[in-house]
């Protein structure tokens, strides 16, 4: 569990680096130094996105690094997902074996709904553990809540973070925490609005789209008037259900 210093990317080492929600100044100093000194930057890009959000966040830090953009399939298919990341892992391991330092950049945090987890899973069989490192990053829910200003958790509060995929699961979660954070809202917003409306919770639900990504940011203080147009995949809903407080 010992770690090397993080002041520069070391030859033969791989780093999964969270660059935060998108704003270049929400990158940590550690992430910035690793990106600045890496030989190779691997930047995954969703097949649905025009640009790599992670790359945009660190563009000012790029000089002579080799940048490899990899477009991953935005499909719920484990076979394709594993095949894709297996190939990327092979590339990373090969570059490290040749003595290069490799940084995979990822939007948000590498361990929270991140492509890094797939890559790390595939790398585990190809590189020794001591050469693989992870740098945390600010996740979207933190960026969103910072704009709204309400505590996510205080005292005995429970926070639940989950995707907004299954409304039955969301309904259950509403009973089990003080703050519910939903990721990947996108096309499920109408169903979510219906559920929250039936529970009288529309005024407790805040919506952020592309928080801290500079362009196309939306912040809605509640969902009593839901957005007219469709919100994207990068949308977060934060529902403040109450406070548990000290007993």
Binding mask 153-192 for a second copy (x = CB under 8 A): xxxxxxxxxxx-xx--x--xx--xx---------------
Cα 88 from Cα 203, distance rounded (Å): 44
Task: Please give the torsion angle defined by the CA atoms of residues 81, 83, 88 and 90, in that order, rounded to the nearest 10 degrees.
Answer: 150
How far is the CA of 196 from the CAs of 9, 169, 199, 242, in angstroms?
47, 13, 5, 15
Q: Would you count residue 246 as binding a second copy (CB under 8 A)?
A: yes
Token readout for 90 is 């092979």
Decide whether 27 or 41 has the Cβ nearer to a second copy: 27
Q: List the one residue out of 160, 97, 152, 99 whose CA is nearest residue 123.
A: 97
Binding span for a second copy by CB under 8 A among 36-44, 64-72, 118-126, 190-198: 118-126
Task: Give yes or no for a contact between 141 and 160, defined as CB atoms under 8 angstroms apart.
Answer: no
∠ at Cα 64 (108, 134), nearest 5°?
30
Cα 36 from Cα 100, distance rounded (Å): 14
Q: Would you count residue 28 as binding a second copy (CB under 8 A)?
A: yes
Binding span for a second copy by CB under 8 A among 39-47, 63-71, 96-104, 145-153: 145-153
Considering only 91, 113, 199, 222, the residue that binds a second copy (CB under 8 A) is 113
Q: Would you count residue 131 as binding a second copy (CB under 8 A)?
A: no
Q: Would you count residue 207 as binding a second copy (CB under 8 A)?
A: no
Decide whether 74 or 98 has the Cβ nearer to a second copy: 74
Contacts of 28 (CB under 8 A, 6+ apart): 20, 135, 136, 137
Binding span for a second copy by CB under 8 A among 87-95, 113-121, 192-200, 226-234: 113-121
Where does this chain bind a second copy (CB under 8 A)?
1, 3, 6-7, 20, 23-30, 32-33, 76, 78, 109-114, 117-118, 120-121, 129, 132, 134-139, 142-143, 145-147, 149-163, 165-166, 169, 172-173, 176-177, 219, 221, 245-247
């Amino acid at each position: 569990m010992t770690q090397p210093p993080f002041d520069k990317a070391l030859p033969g080492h791989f780093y999964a680096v969270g660059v935060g929600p998108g704003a270049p100044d929400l990158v940590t100093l550690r992430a910035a130094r690793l990106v600045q000194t890496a030989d190779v930057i691997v930047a995954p890009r969703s097949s649905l996105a025009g640009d790599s959000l992670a790359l945009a966040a660190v563009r000012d830090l790029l000089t002579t690094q080799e940048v490899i953009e990899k477009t991953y399939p935005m499909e719920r298919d484990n076979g394709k997902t594993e095949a894709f990341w297996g190939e990327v892992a092979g590339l990373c391991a090969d570059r490290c074996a040749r003595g290069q330092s490799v940084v995979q950049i990822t939007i948000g945090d590498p361990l929270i709904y991140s492509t890094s987890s797939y890559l790390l899973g595939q790398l585990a069989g190809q590189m020794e553990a001591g050469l693989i490192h992870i740098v945390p990053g600010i996740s979207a829910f933190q960026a969103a809540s910072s704009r709204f200003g309400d505590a996510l958790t205080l005292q005995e509060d429970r926070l639940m973070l989950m995707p907004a995929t299954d409304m039955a699961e969301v309904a259950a979660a509403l009973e089990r925490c003080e703050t519910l954070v939903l990721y990947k809202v996108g096309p499920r917003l109408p169903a979510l609005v219906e559920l929250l409306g039936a529970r009288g919770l529309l005024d407790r639900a805040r919506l952020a789209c592309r928080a801290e990504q500079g362009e196309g940011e939306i912040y809605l203080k509640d969902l009593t008037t839901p957005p007219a147009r469709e919100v994207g995949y990068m949308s977060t809903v934060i529902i403040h259900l109450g406070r548990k407080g000290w007993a």
